[in-house]
Structure 1
Amino acid sequence: MKVLLIGSSFSAMPFLYELKRLGADVSVIGKYEADPCHSFVEHSIHEDYSDSENLLRICKEHGFDHIVPSCNDYSYVAGAAVANVLGLPGFDSPEVTEILHTKDRFRRFCREIGVPAPRIYGEVTPDSGTQEVSAQLDGPALVKPVDSFSGRGVELIHSAAELDEAIARAMDMSRGKRAVVEQFVEGALHSHTAFIADGRIIWHQFVDEFCEVYRYQVDRSQFPTRLTAEIRDAVQRAMERVVEALGLCDGLLHTQFIASEHAFWIIECMRRCPGDLYGHHFKFSFGYNYEAQYVAGFLGRKPQPPAADGPSPMRIERRVLSVADPQAFFAVYLGADGGDGGPEKIYVPLKDSGQKLEAAPFDKAGILFLRGDPETTPEQISATKAHMLFHN
């Protein structure tokens, strides 16, 4: 079984080792030669995989049986185009892929099937101008590149006078040079993550998310969720509607949404795996190999839910260590344990001491997981001290 892993960063390492565990002959594509996945395969391809025509050429030359995208939209969208030509499993049709991964089309789709989502004021291209969108504005709005991820290029505006500059910055982050302007909604950020088999959701969970350093990138998250049953049930029904309306293939459906006390708005859905070791919320909490289930769909296999008699979930907090301004990274202070030992700390380093740490959302020093027992409260785990130290 010859498999191409599309992506070579640290976030792709769990997929690489799952493929190796299955006995696959794995190649990795990614243009950065220093990325970790390149060190653990016989064959590395140091090219840009976001060009679907180039990726198709490479797949034909090497005769891969399967391709597995990693944790960014470029890997999934290019992989979907290749899979459509070569008949490879795990990807939806190009039409469905475009709906899910293009912000303006996804908003229109949600409206058509009755799923709550922020209102779209309009889309802007270099040739369209902003007058029509400006006339539609009704309160604060978010300006976003239609095709970016990790919050890059997103900006909140409060009046039409701010629109032109925000559009220009969004287009700088858009490969297609297109931006969308949408309603700003108030509430707390959460994610719903689910595996699909035979057209239905077979397993799902919720995670509470926080953006504390950079306003539009998650840098802290907690599992299990504190969402009410009312909101959880409503979001679950909405996701089932999305699965049915699009006829989604087996695999992952990951969603971010904003919720208030009695309402919610879907922000985005994706079929690729979220980054920053998101799946380890569940691996460290109750032993569920989320990444293995993600890989399964691209190998033509069905994802499986965790065992019904598995362990009780332990409370997990994930912290992505980043900064608002560039710094010379030195070390991470993990704090002293209290008399009861405090939560376990699992630190994933991504920077060496002395390296420059760029501002979020473009860089991070590492990822810290805190694990408490089932009785640990969210407040107790959040109070655990850990912070970065810098050369100065």
Structure 2
Amino acid sequence: MSRVLLLDTNLSAYPIHQFLVGQGHDVFVLGGNPDDYLAKISKNYIQYDYSDRIHMPAILNHYKVDYLVPGCNDLSYIVCAELNEVTVFNGIDSVATTHVLNNKKQFRQFAIENKIPVPVLLTESEALDQLPVIVKPVDSYSGRGVTVIRKRDDCALQEAITLSKSQSRSGQYLIEKYVQGQLLSHSAFLKDQRIMLDFFVEEQCIASPFAVDTSRVVTGLSCEMSENIRRVVEQMAANLGLADGLFHSQFIMQDDDYRIIEVTRRCPGDLYSLLIEYSTGIKYADMYTNPFLGNPQVVVGTPSTKLIVRHTITTPEETYFSSIKFIRPVKQVGYFSLARSGDQIGLAPLGRIGIFFTESDSQEEQALIYDELTRRVLYVIE
């Protein structure tokens, strides 16, 4: 029986874990929080904070790990890339490539050199002459440490820089021209640096302006827009020599134009994999995981079409959680609780109550649910 180490204990990695167990592997999960979902359900939980890399090689040797699988956060993939430099595993890019993709500043510079459409990168001295601008950490997630500056205010800019640096693991930040438009994501599965299958998802940030909490698969992008994005992804894959597997990006669309704002090779969080699986029948987590096991990149699942909306329940203010009351009935196809009654919930995006998936019988019904969620009138947090 092969031994697999999954570097994540969060609920979002649950579909990955289930696939590995179903394939008959002896699965170990590693993370610092024993209250995480996988830490509780796994018979092979290793309590260790993998941000402290020093003992990771020894752990691999001690548990005789055959396969290493990154989870659903950037740090997990970065640590896997670093370990891959010591012991070669399947499907993992080099450290240099990983930093280009995961460090926002390095990615912007790579994109500019390769004529890839990204927001305009600015220096601190240029920022107040290019309003509005956005200040963000180069390596944070879920919108932490992000500020938009709309008025000429040097004090506000300095405060934004200080905040971004405080939320960055490396203490670094970037400033760029703020781009407003529709946020979308593109998940592409690569084989020989070409896209074999991909999905576009519309995303909304409701409770917090820079953290996605509502999304649905979309098929209505223009052929020109979707083909342009695919061409750019394949260009990046070729230029960086990417291994087979997932390439996930977020971009902002303005009419017929777009700007890529973030790219990654790890599985997206908040059970994004189930959004794709419920909507399309494609087993996203299985396809994500296969290259790390040395398996060929093939389509897994039976294609189908369902009208699914994914929503992460958060709150724009701190509160004690009691229950969720829906204003009207909806067809839920999945609910995953992240909080218990009596828990104190932090304001979004730090505090999350649960993730649910709804199915609609028509485009009109899905549009209504989507609208009610964006206006925060479909349910009440009690």
- Length-normalised TM-score, structure 1: 0.91
Aligned match of 1:333: 325
1:102 Cα deviation (Å)?
0.5
Aligned match of 2:110: 109
Distance in 1 between residues matched to 2:308 and 2:349, nearest whole Å: 23
Distance in 2 between residues matched to 1:291 and 1:320, nearest whole Å: 19
Worse-superposed segment, 233-242 or 344-353: 344-353
Aligned match of 2:272: 278
1:153 Cα deviation (Å)?
0.6
Aligned match of 1:23: 24
1:377 Cα deviation (Å)?
5.3
* Aligned-partner SS, 2:198: strand
Distance in 2 between residues matched to 1:255 and 1:305, nearest whole Å: 20
Q: 1:255 aligns with which of 237, 244, 249?
A: 249
Question: 2:185 is matched by which residue type in structure 1?
Answer: S
Question: 1:362 is matched by which residue type in structure 2?
Answer: L
Q: 1:288 aligns with which of 279, 282, 285?
A: 282
Question: 1:2 is matched by which residue type in structure 2?
Answer: R
Question: 2:75 is matched by which residue type in structure 1?
Answer: Y
Question: 2:334 is matched by which residue type in structure 1?
Answer: I
Contact 2:4–2:26 (CA<8 Å) still a contact in 1?
Answer: yes
Distance in 2 between residues matched to 1:74 and 1:179, nearest whole Å: 17
* Aligned-partner SS, 1:17: helix
Aligned match of 1:366: 354
Question: 1:109 is matched by which residue type in structure 2?
Answer: F
**Alpha carbons of 1:121 and 1:318: their partners in 2 closer, same or farther (altered >3 Å)?**
same
User: Is 1:301 aligned with 2:295?
Assistant: yes
Question: 1:144 is matched by which residue type in structure 2?
Answer: K
Distance in 2 between residues matched to 1:192 and 1:275, nearest whole Å: 14
Aligned match of 1:50: 51
Contact 1:219–1:321 (CA<8 Å) still a contact in 2?
Answer: yes
Measured against aligned partners, the alpha-carbon deviations of 1:237-274 in whole angstroms (never above 9, x if no partner) come to 11111111111101110000000111000001100010
Q: 1:320 aligns with which of 307, 312, 332?
A: 312
How many residue pairs get matched? 375
Measured against aligned partners, the alpha-carbon deviations of 1:92-122 in whole angstroms (never above 9, x if no partner) come to 1111101000011100111111110001113
Question: 2:227 is matched by which residue type in structure 1?
Answer: D
Aligned match of 2:137: 145
* Aligned-partner SS, 2:321: strand
1:373 Cα deviation (Å)?
3.2
User: Is 1:163 aligned with 2:157?
Assistant: yes
Aligned match of 2:120: 119
Aligned match of 2:233: 239
Q: Superposition pairs for residues 175-214 of structure 1, below 5 Å?
A: 175-214=169-208
1:306 Cα deviation (Å)?
4.8
Aligned match of 1:228: 222
Measured against aligned partners, the alpha-carbon deviations of 1:9-34 in whole angstroms (never above 9, x if no partner) come to 11111111111001111111111111
* Aligned-partner SS, 2:239: helix
Distance in 1 between residues matched to 2:4 and 2:82, nearest whole Å: 16
1:278 Cα deviation (Å)?
0.4
Aligned match of 2:146: 154
* Aligned-partner SS, 2:190: strand
1:336 Cα deviation (Å)?
3.2
Distance in 2 between residues matched to 1:57 and 1:108, nearest whole Å: 35
Q: 1:382 aligns with which of 365, 370, 377?
A: 370
* Aligned-partner SS, 2:174: strand
Aligned match of 1:346: 334
**Alpha carbons of 1:134 and 1:336: their partners in 2 closer, same or farther (altered >3 Å)?**
closer
* Aligned-partner SS, 1:257: strand
Distance in 2 between residues matched to 1:215 and 1:362, nearest whole Å: 13
Aligned-pair identity (%): 34
Distance in 2 between residues matched to 1:28 and 1:219, nearest whole Å: 26
1:151 Cα deviation (Å)?
1.1
**Alpha carbons of 1:160 and 1:91: their partners in 2 closer, same or farther (altered >3 Å)?**
farther
Question: 2:106 is matched by which residue type in structure 1?
Answer: R
1:225 Cα deviation (Å)?
4.1
1:51 Cα deviation (Å)?
2.7
* Aligned-partner SS, 2:221: coil
Aligned match of 2:61: 60
Distance in 2 between residues matched to 1:54 and 1:167, nearest whole Å: 33
Question: 2:266 is matched by which residue type in structure 1?
Answer: R
Contact 1:144–1:155 (CA<8 Å) still a contact in 2?
Answer: yes
* Aligned-partner SS, 2:322: strand
